[in-house]
Amino acid sequence: MNCFASPRTLQTLSPQRISMRIALAQMNPTVGDLQGNCQRILELARDASSRKAELLIVPELALCGYPPKDLLLRSGFVEACDEAVSRLAAAVPADLGVLVGHPTTWGQPAECAANAASLLHEGKVVATTCKKLLPNYDVFDERRYFRPADSVKPILFRGRKLGVHICEDAWFGQPDTFYHTRPVCESDPVQDLIEAGAELLINLSASPFEVDKSSRRHSILQAHCQRGNIPCVFVNQVGGNDDLVFDGASLLLNRQGQVVTQLAAFEEDLRVIDFHHDMPTEKLQIASRCEQLLQALILGLKDYAAKSGFREAVLGLSGGIDSAVAACLAAYAFGPENVYTLMMPSRYSTQHSIDDSVLLAKNLGIEAIEIPIDEIHTAYEQAPVITADLSSQPAGLADQNLQARIRGAMVMIRSNRHGWLPLATGNKSELAVGYCTLYGDMAGGFAVLCDVLKRDVYAIASHINQKAGREIIPAHIINKPPSAELAPDQFDQDSLPEYDLLDAILEGLVEQEKSANELSIIYPEETVRWVLNKLDRNEFKRRQMPPGIKLTPRAFGSGRRMPMAARYTHFQPE
């Protein structure tokens, strides 16, 4: 694949001397909304032009949104993107250069597409470069859709050689994940650009959020700056698309890799900078772990709802920590006036759980209606055939799951009637070991906490109160022993290991893919065996859970593809 650049004569400037008025625009596109995304880029271009910017940079695939997935395979979609880029080039202010990410067929063999960045200037598409390294791990599947560039070279703009490259091209050689592999024939695109005389590295990205990923990005970009004695611009997408959330936090670095400018995290931002070699620097700003998780969850939920056409949400309030945190997230994402909750006590519910739920709803300003489920529960118990099944094991597993399913049905009735987004509130710890009920507490349209371990749910709850400077989530919810309250005197730890131990083992098994043998050196072997068996046996449940937000390197969902019907001996001989 031969991507093309402007054939004009190149003028060499030293990296120390380059100066340019640059506009960095981290935008929140909607996947597939070519008209809306183009309109947003045009608005940003007009704003940047009014502020005398020379060059505007928007993220990877900003024109169609990332990730477009199999829309790229739909007949005419990529061609429609090409047409939209041409129309956009004619519409942006003629005095402004715009670097825009988009899929393209330009310069490709028949039936092939590329992940590209084009320079729009003076009414035309004057140069296009294509992504060379196509990620094919975790949630990324770009080799399914795109053909990689054979080579990369700088783009000339107003006498400057711009080292334009796209997202993964900057991550060459990084052992970012245990499943991150590359063909041995691939070379380093950034090094190629430096050797070709690039004076400014520009990375257009759609880099999904993971906790503390900002520091890893900075380290990688800093290394490129230092080895090439060259400044770098990193412009990242922001917003939620399906299970991914993008944190923005775009950067402008000097040739030593020091931060000159950092854009806001988790919100759209446009920054116009007079870049030159001796600009003052600042410290990289990274929020606390809890604040990162909180902002990612709010943004992911808000955008999933808005881009799917939901303005209101409904969920069950149990008086427990998970539904309390989920209710807070919903109130922040939708506005408290748009959140509706149901308190559905059973014969085993405690009064303090109802009282805690009422107080939480009052603190948040959300609606909470009490609908006891005992009458419905009793009706099931009296049904022919079912009577024998339930009475043979009172308060047993079938009976406990029945209560959860009654509650799930109540939530879904309100969702169907009013068009509200129903939220499932289960956390990653419970989903991992199957401590959840299909068509019960797993019922819903979005599983907002599905990638949050129980220990982080508690940490986020405390952070919400601390950040608010008052008690939003009642202290009793945070401090009391967790319980599903589906049987007499029931507590989670009657069925599960202590959450601190469970979460540590799950982190090793799921997020680090450590072996059972390795973990048994650290933790009790019997507990490791139990957790691993539950993890594998409950894959069928997770396959049926609603979508949620990816926050960790290994979230349940599209990035973790485990078989359901499988057998494997986990404890191998030494």
Q: Could you tell me which residue, 270 or 349, shows the higher pLDDT?
A: 270
Say what the pLDDT of residue 185 is. Answer: 58
User: Is 467 designated active site?
Assistant: no
User: Is 60 designated active site?
Assistant: yes
For the ranges 206-215, 257-266, 386-395, the lowest mean pLDDT is seen at: 386-395
CB 537 within 8 A of CB 566: no
316 and 439 together in one domain:
yes
Q: How far apart are the first and last CA of the chain?
A: 48
400 and 429 together in one domain:
yes
Residue 166: strand pairing partners: 204
Phi, psi of 303 (to 5 degrees): -75, -35
Out of 223, 246, 275, pick the residue that ends a domain. Answer: 275
Q: Is residue 6 part of a domain?
A: no
63 and 144 together in one domain:
yes
User: How many of the other CB atoms lie within 10 Å of CB of 73?
Assistant: 12
Q: Is residue 571 part of a domain?
A: no
558's CB contacts (< 8 A; 6+ apart) are 139, 243
Tens digit of each residue's pLDDT (9 = 90 or more) over 526-571: 999 999 999 999 999 999 999 999 999 888 888 887 878 777 766 6
179 and 132 together in one domain:
yes
- What is the rounded CA–CA span in Å between residue 188 and residue 147? 17
Q: Is residue 173 part of a domain?
A: yes
Percent of the chain with pLDDT over 90: 77
Q: Is residue 523 part of a domain?
A: no
| Residue from 60, 430, 485, 507 carrying the catalytic annotation | 60
237 and 373 together in one domain:
no
CATH code of 202's domain: 3.60.110.10
Q: Is residue 539 part of a domain?
A: no
Out of 232, 250, 275, pick the residue that ends a domain. Answer: 275
193 and 333 together in one domain:
no
- What is the rounded CA–CA span in Å between residue 128 and residue 113? 13
Residue 91 has pLDDT above 70, yes or no: yes
Q: Is residue 517 part of a domain?
A: no
Q: Is residue 44 part of a domain?
A: yes
Structure tokens at 98: 């715009």
231 and 336 together in one domain:
no
250 and 323 together in one domain:
no
| Residue from 131, 153, 307, 428 carrying the catalytic annotation | 131
246 and 309 together in one domain:
no
Q: Is residue 15 part of a domain?
A: no
Task: Indicate the number of domains in the chain.
Answer: 2
- What is the rounded CA–CA span in Å between residue 206 and residue 546? 24
Element spanning 543, H or E: helix 539-543
241 and 305 together in one domain:
no
411 and 457 together in one domain:
yes
Contacts of 367-372 with CB under 8 Å at 24 or more apart are 367/339, 367/340, 367/341, 368/317, 368/341, 368/342, 368/343, 369/340, 369/341, 369/342, 369/343, 370/342, 370/343, 370/344, 370/345, 371/342, 371/343, 371/344, 371/410, 372/344, 372/345, 372/346
268 and 309 together in one domain:
no
User: Is 124 designated active site?
Assistant: no
* Band of residue 6 on the pLDDT scale cut at 50, 70, 90: very low
Tens digit of each residue's pLDDT (9 = 90 or more) over 445-477: 999 999 999 999 999 999 999 999 999 999 999
Out of 210, 243, 275, pick the residue that ends a domain. Answer: 275
Residue 325 has pLDDT above 60, yes or no: yes
| Residue from 130, 167, 232, 450 carrying the catalytic annotation | 167
Tens digit of each residue's pLDDT (9 = 90 or more) over 501-521: 999 999 999 988 898 999 999
Half-sphere exposure for 474 (CA within 13 Å, toward CB): 18
Domain housing 414 = 292-492
Phi, psi of 449 (to 5 degrees): -110, 15
- Taking the whole predicted model, whether its pTM rises above 0.85 is answered as yes
CATH code of 470's domain: 3.40.50.620
